[in-house]
Amino acid sequence: MEKQKLPHSQGALILGIVSIVSTFCCCFIPGPGIILGLIGMNSAKKAKALDEENPDTYIGINNANTGGLISKIGLIIGVLVLIWFVYRLATTDVDQIMQQYKDLIEQAR
């Protein structure tokens, strides 16, 4: 009997990587990283449960394990960025933040 690829394992890996990348590439907006990290962890959990039911049927449990780990890292980074974002909003004047944002946009042009 030929072994099949483990469903959800490759998706968990991809979502974990994208959760980390999206946190850094989306101007440190933590939302996408947190959401994708949670979805990746859920996919890894589903893949691990399938592999535990029939361990001789599937290959690719390493992708599920790695995807779960990377998703957790992406989730942690997203939560840390969210904490930093809230702290910065709470301790800095909003007008000052908006001026810095406008200055950055002008420099990018």
Please write the tens of the pLDDT for every residue from 21-71. Answer: 988 886 667 788 899 999 999 999 999 999 999 888 999 899 999 999 999
Domain boundaries, the chain: 4-84
Res 27: pLDDT: 65
For residue 29, what are the contacts with CB-CB under 8 A and spacing of at least 6? 23, 81, 85
pLDDT in tens, 75-85: 999 999 889 88
pLDDT higher than threshold 90 for residue 1 = no
pTM: 0.80
Distance CA 16, CA 87 (A): 26
